[in-house]
Structure 1
Amino acid sequence: MINLIERLDMPSLAFIRSQEFADLKIPTVVMHDNGFLPDNVNSPAKFYCGFTDEIKPLYFDRLPLPKYWRFKASSLQADVYDLDHKRATIFYDKTDNSRLVKEVQWLNKNGQLSWIDHYNKSGWKFAKTFFNNGRAVVRKLFDKNGKCVIEHNLIADDFYLDYQGTKKHFASLAEFTIHYLKDRGYSLDHIFYNTLNESMNVTLNLNEKGTDTMFWHEPVSGALPGNMEYLMNTKSRTKHIVFQRYDEWMKAQSMIPEDTGNVDFQYLGMVYPHSRSNQLRPNALIFTNSDQIEALDKIVTAMPNIRFNIAAVTEMSDKLMAFDQYDNVKLYPVVKKDKAAELLKECDLYFDINYNNEILSAVRSAFEQNMLIIGFRDTLHEPQFVADKYIFDASEIDKIKRLIDHVLESKINMKEALDYQRRMASDTTISEFKEKIEALENE
């Protein structure tokens, strides 16, 4: 049995972590390696290119540059200049706030994208994508010695592998992945996969006996996806389709026919750790990457009984520092990780009302700390953790105030609010998760 993940997005990572919380030992393979996979997650690139889990990250200001070239950095990215001529843009790994290099997009003299250097968490330039007239045409992946081991023709979408003196061609990513899975000797009797694209293609073309389960974490709109209907109407290894989002599972009830053909439909949420209970303290928290915080002045003045703690990993602008005049506002510029963790433990309300990028995985962290999360429709960073009842228009400050007064009034009120928040976020218990996975595994 294995988990086969096409790309390691946040829902996929939550699924893997849920298995870890339930003490389920299922190997995980990611088809597209971005260089920052967790140590216990495997990929064809890791295996054939010889990636190690040694952590020697490359910070943006350590990127080798020609003499006299310079960096111009912000919290979002860094630019490389030759005098006043921009030569490259450096993009950071978004899972870390210490400006680790993930990719460098190099420009030609006309300012057009020429190639991208891809770096992994060990600071190793493991891949390079070449462009022609603005179009990505080839991606090459290298071993530590700089030898091209995997070449992906992005136009034809085929692959070449040059490994241990043997050269092979694969017509598709699915074909290449199947070769890797067999090369590694994985048990392929049951595959958990979570896209109706490349990972599904692997299971359809595996030509091995087994039973597979498709885990669905994306939205549905109007009708079930065509490939889901294909699985219903075609005999294949896939026997189960498991929805992982509670709201989408409820929405899908009217779309799933009585006769589901070759598959059955089920629901199973995710396991999230909750390290503490909510203590009903009138302490609110906002993590921000800018001074663009929607209706902050109105919220602060409307709720003088709430202490608003506002933290940023960078210096704060004069606009934001001006809020220091309010008795119920405490500002934390250039906040350190230890202090950020302390604030998460000391606050029982979180406001997801800032624009620009999220920092410190703030919304998920607040959810795991059992904080009640309030957000505006236009500022949500991780909507799956903000229940629909607690999402407001920026003009509805009075409604927010009434909600907060209500939940802080009693433990019962807060518990009802948090129970709803967790249910809508597809939160489930370890025992429920483990029981469902083991039942699928044993079929």
Structure 2
Amino acid sequence: MINLFEKFDTSSLDFLRSQVIAKIKIPSVVIEDDGFLPDDVDSPFSYYTENKGNHRPLYFDQLPLPNRYWRIEATGDQAKVMDMDRQRATIFYSATDNTRLVKEVHWLDELGRVSWVDHYNKHGQLFAKTYFNNNQAVLRKFFTPQGKVVVTWNLPAGDLTLNTGMSIRHFPRIEDFVIFYLRDRHYKLDHIFYNTLNRALAVSLSLGGSGTDTLFWHEPTGDELPGNMQFLMKNATRTKHVVFQRFTDWQKYGPQLRQEDSQVDFRYLGMVYPHPRSNNLHPAILILTNSDQIEQLAPLVQGMPNIHFHIASITEMSSKLMAFGDYPNVDLYPTVTTKRVQELIKECDVYMDINHGNEILDAVRGAFEQNMLIVGFKNTLHRPELLAPENIFDPADVDGMKQRVMTALIQPRLMEQLIDHQREVAGDVKVEDYQKTIGELTND
């Protein structure tokens, strides 16, 4: 049995973390390796290139430059390689926590278009390059730490070549490469848990054999089921179960699907989230932002004088935002430390997802795990799946948001109900329920 993820995104991380919390140990494989996979997660690319070790990631100012006169200009969001007043490359970080660790460097041609991308891993190694032609990615090469090319991937055609030094193998599709790897590593393939209807499904369909696979469906479902899911319903394949992980989608489709004649069994199972504390009704609001564009901040601060606002940024704050420090119920934390953010998360019991721009420090997720009441505006949401619908407001409805927060903070029973519903909508399930369902799936 294995977990097979196409990418190690937030949903894949949540799925794996749920298993860890529930003490379910299953080997995990990721098809598309971004270089920053956890140590206990495997990938065919990292396996054959032997990219492993205990070195630290590359800090932005350690990036090798081809010209001694070029320089790097950095912010907390990204960095640039500059040649006088001309930009030669854009540096993208591995996270939004101001650690400024290099993940990708996009090198530009004379017209300012991406010419190639250098991919760095968590050991600070250049492990892959992607080459572009007319703004289209056409070729990707994967290297050993010594710089030897091991895998060459023709992106438009989709075929790959694996050169281990002992042999050279050609694969028409990446799915064929993954299947070769899984068998080469002697994984037990009787049951595969996968969570996308793209490459992971293609692996399951091509693998053959008498296995029993399960699709864990976490993506938003529109007005109709995806075509590949309908294919699984109508055709006998290794996939015997489809598990919805979004509570609202299961409410919409579940009753109908469980009555239909189908080749797969449908059921619901959310995620197991850690919740180290309860909501303590402290009249304190937290906002994490790297922008001074915070929706309706002035009327919210002015309209709730008895509630304290803590606004933190991992970068310097503009004069516009710093001016809010004149309000007696506002504390500002420019260039905040990670330690101070952790303290604020424990001290505050309301999180406002009202900043425009990127989310930083996985703020909404952190607030959710701490059982903070999360409210936001329709045009500022970063993680809408973690908010209850009744806590999402129109930007013009400032009074509605104020009323929700103030009422919840003085009514313990209401706050409890709001937090319970917030967790339910996000698909939060108990460990024992998770263990029971996984046990039923694996015993079928």
TM-score range, shorter chain: over 0.9
| Aligned residue in 2 for 1:359 | 360
Residue aligning to 2:214: 213
Q: Please report the TM-score for the alignment, with normalisation by the length of structure 1.
A: 0.98
Give the match for residue 427 of structure 2.
426
> How big is each residue's C-alpha offset from its partner over 1:193-236, in whole Å with a ceiling of 9 and x where there is no partner?
01111100111111222100000001111111111111011111
Aligned-partner Cα distance in 2 for 1:356–1:54: 34
Secondary structure in structure 2 of the residue aligned to 1:205: helix
Equivalent residue pairs, number: 443
Structure 2 partner of 1:31: 31
Kindly indicate whether residue 241 of structure 2 is the aligned counterpart of residue 240 of structure 1.
yes
The equivalent of 2:137 in structure 1 is 136
- Aligned residues of 1:278 and 1:369 also touching (Cα < 8 A): yes
Q: Output the CA distance in 2 between the equivalents of 1:268 and 1:157.
A: 34
- Identity, in percent, stands at 53
Q: Does 1:376 align with 2:377?
A: yes
**1:80 Cα deviation after fit:** 0.9
- Give 5+ residue unaligned stretches, structure 1: none
Q: Residue by residue, what CA displacement relative to the aligned partner does 1:224-270 show, whole Å, maximum 9, x if unpaired?
A: 11111110111111000000010111122366373232101100000
Mapped to 2, the partners of 1:55 and 1:439 lie a distance apart of 41
Any conservation in 1 of the 2:408–2:414 contact (CA below 8 Å)? yes
User: 1:407 deviation in Å?
Assistant: 1.1
Structure 2, unpaired ranges of 5+: none
Pairwise CA distance, 1:410: 2.3
Q: Deviations over 1:413-436 (max 9, x none)?
A: 110010010000100111111111
Residue 15 of structure 2 corresponds to 15
- 2:85 matched to 1:84? yes
Aligned-partner Cα distance in 1 for 2:158–2:231: 23
Counterparts in 2 of 1:41-440, with a 5 A limit? 41-65=41-65, 66-94=67-95, 96-253=97-254, 256=257, 258-440=259-441
Distance in 2 separating the partners of 1:52 and 1:272: 29
Indicate if the aligned counterparts of 2:208 and 2:238 stay in contact, CA closer than 8 A.
no
Q: Is the 8 A contact 2:28 2:42 kept in 1?
A: yes
- Structure 2 distance, partners of 1:316, 1:111, is 30
Q: 1:344 to 1:104 in 2, by over 3 A?
A: same
Letter in 1 for 2:184: D
What is the Cα deviation at residue 112 of structure 1?
2.3
User: 2:31 is aligned with what amino acid?
Assistant: M
For residues 218 and 31 of structure 2, what CA distance do their matches in structure 1 show? Answer: 17
Aligned partners of 1:346, 1:412: CA distance in 2, in Å?
20
Letter in 1 for 2:331: K
CA distance in 1, matches of 2:218, 2:54: 32
The answer to whether the 8 A contact 2:242-2:266 is kept is yes
CA distance in 1, matches of 2:55, 2:357: 29
Q: Does the 8 Å CA contact 2:97/2:314 hold for their aligned counterparts?
A: no
> How well do the aligned residues superpose, as a CA RMSD in angstroms?
1.2
Deviation at 1:442, TM superposition (A): 1.4
* Secondary structure of residue in 2 paired with 1:150: strand
TM-superposition CA deviations, 1:106-159 (whole Å, max 9, x none):
112232221110111111110001112222110000001101101110111011
